[in-house]
């Protein structure tokens, strides 16, 4: 924790506007770190001389470390400040990107991807805290409402850029691009930003662990996080398998894989917008209807494979299924945070952290059982997640009804 004798570079009020734009610009970094090299996965596997599962593990390791970091980083930036930690993390992230680009050792890449997860987690948490430090009231609510929309630009734009980079320069260029982007952001942050935390809190692990425990033992909260993990796993499974299906099974180019990921990233955003538009409708009724539609779409996808199996059918069914997944994520994220209004910050970190750990383990486990071979395996992956989601949601509904009846006694 900083002392009064230490020199702290606080943000210049005259540069606050530019600093806010920079904070928003860093929010999609996690999406860029995962999605920009998705079109390059087949090429990486070929160049490194490893299997598809081996390169897909680079995504899972990032998600695990990114998720774990969010469980405790919030408390650290409250104690040691936002600015220096995010600047150091950006520099480490840039250096690790360069290491990945110049090495052909898959195990060294694994280590760098773990470092990516922790550094990106630190940057994102620090930038979220920036808005709470600087803004208040209605202006803060306005900026917070933009978080999910701005974050979703990463998964939409990154594969599109990555497809071009892969075609023109090879998979290594993706990581050189990320390194250059990070260095540019460091220079801009140094010029226009600064520390925003006024009161540094004491780091007490015991108190934090107690709050976490009380949240995790709340069944609705824990199962709601599982629903979030299941919803995002649908997207991540496509991210891990889609490029192999498009480039190997369908014989198309990495650029086509990039365009396809861009389209499906937009599907996730559409689901989020629909979720926001229906936020006041009865929760379990709308979620039940959405999950039923999702299940029917998956069944239709499986049945359609008897008659057609091409890029257009793949994207059509994946698009509508990803819309339903985005809808689930939007609603259950609000549901989980609404359970602990007095500890929304910690609940947000815990929700995000556990969600990414679930996504990494679940998606990697499913693609091990159903490898990236063709559209049939992808549809079976969707079916598995859809069925489990229905069972989990029914359990949450029963618990909520039981709690409601207990409160009325």
Q: Is 3 among the domain residues?
A: no
Q: Is 9 among the domain residues?
A: no
Q: Are residues 189 and 270 in the same domain?
A: no
In this predicted structure, what is the pLDDT of residue 80?
80
Cα–Cα distance for residue pair 249/237, rounded to 1 Å: 16
Residue for token digits 């809808």?
327
Number of domains in the chain: 2
Cα–Cα distance for residue pair 230/113, rounded to 1 Å: 23
The strand pairing partners of 195, in sequence order, are 10
CA angle 247/367/165 to nearest 5° reads 35
Domain boundary, last residue among 193, 221, 239: 193
Comparing C-alpha atoms, which of 61, 158, 50, 46 is closest to residue 112?
61
Comparing C-alpha atoms, which of 241, 228, 234, 225 is closest to residue 322?
234
Q: Are residues 89 and 159 in the same domain?
A: yes
Q: Are residues 172 and 300 in the same domain?
A: no
Comparing C-alpha atoms, which of 395, 398, 392, 399 is closest to residue 227?
392
The CATH number covering residue 147 comes to 1.20.1250.20
In this predicted structure, what is the pLDDT of residue 4?
45
Domain boundary, last residue among 150, 170, 193: 193
**Could you read off the pLDDT tens digit of each residue along the chain, which spans 409 residues?**
444 445 778 888 888 889 999 999 998 998 899 889 988 999 999 999 998 889 989 998 998 899 888 877 877 777 788 889 999 999 999 999 999 999 989 999 999 999 999 999 989 888 877 887 888 777 776 776 677 678 778 878 888 899 899 999 999 999 999 999 999 999 999 999 888 877 666 666 676 677 778 888 888 889 999 999 999 999 889 988 888 899 888 999 888 988 888 898 889 888 888 887 887 888 899 999 999 999 999 999 999 999 998 999 999 999 999 999 989 988 887 777 667 655 555 676 777 788 888 988 898 899 889 887 789 999 999 999 999 999 999 998 898 888 777 665 5
Q: Are residues 186 and 266 in the same domain?
A: no
Domain that holds residue 311: 206-404
Q: Are residues 131 and 89 in the same domain?
A: yes
Q: Is 5 among the domain residues?
A: no
Q: Is 345 among the domain residues?
A: yes
Q: Is 1 among the domain residues?
A: no
Q: Are residues 113 and 228 in the same domain?
A: no
Q: Are residues 180 and 257 in the same domain?
A: no
In this predicted structure, what is the pLDDT of residue 3?
47
Q: Is 370 among the domain residues?
A: yes
Domain boundary, last residue among 142, 162, 193: 193
């Amino acid at each position: 924790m900083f002392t009064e004798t230490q020199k702290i570079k606080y943000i210049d009020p005259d540069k606050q506007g530019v600093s806010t734009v920079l904070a928003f610009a860093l929010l999609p970094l996690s999406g860029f770190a995962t999605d920009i090299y998705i079109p390059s996965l087949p090429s990486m596997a070929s160049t490194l001389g490893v299997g598809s599962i081996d390169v897909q593990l680079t995504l899972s390791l990032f998600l695990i470390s990114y998720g774990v970091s969010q469980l405790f980083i919030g408390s650290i930036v409250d104690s040691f400040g936002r600015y220096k930690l995010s600047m150091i993390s950006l520099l480490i992230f840039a250096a690790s990107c360069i290491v990945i680009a110049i090495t052909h050792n898959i195990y060294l890449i694994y280590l760098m991807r773990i470092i990516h997860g922790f550094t990106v987690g630190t940057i994102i948490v620090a930038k979220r805290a920036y808005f709470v430090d600087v803004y208040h009231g209605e202006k803060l609510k306005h900026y917070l409402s933009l978080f999910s929309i701005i974050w979703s630009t990463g998964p939409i734009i990154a594969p599109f850029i990555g497809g071009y980079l892969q075609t023109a320069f090879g998979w290594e260029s993706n990581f050189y691009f990320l390194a250059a982007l990070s260095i540019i952001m460091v220079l801009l942050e140094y010029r226009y930003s600064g520390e925003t935390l006024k009161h540094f809190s004491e780091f007490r692990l015991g108190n934090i662990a107690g709050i976490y425990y009380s949240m995790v033992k709340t069944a609705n909260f824990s199962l709601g996080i599982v629903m979030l993990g299941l919803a995002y796993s649908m997207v991540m499974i496509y991210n891990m398998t889609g490029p192999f299906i498009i480039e190997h099974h369908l014989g198309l180019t990495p650029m086509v894989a990039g365009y396809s990921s861009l389209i499906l990233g937009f599907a996730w955003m559409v689901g989020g917008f629909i979720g926001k538009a229906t936020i006041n409708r009865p929760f379990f009724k709308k979620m039940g209807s959405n999950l039923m539609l999702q299940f029917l779409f998956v069944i239709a996808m499986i049945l359609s494979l008897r008659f057609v199996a091409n890029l257009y059918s793949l994207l059509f069914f994946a698009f509508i299924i990803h819309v339903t997944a985005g809808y689930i994520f939007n609603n259950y994220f609000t549901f989980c945070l609404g359970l602990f209004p007095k500890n929304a910050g910690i609940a947000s970190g815990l929700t995000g952290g556990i969600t990414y750990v679930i996504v990494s383990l679940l998606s990697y486990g499913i693609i091990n059982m159903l490898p990236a071979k063709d559209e049939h395996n992808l549809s079976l992956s969707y079916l598995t997640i859809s069925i489990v989601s229905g069972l989990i949601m029914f359990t949450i509904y029963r618990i909520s009804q039981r709690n409601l009846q207990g409160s009325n006694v």
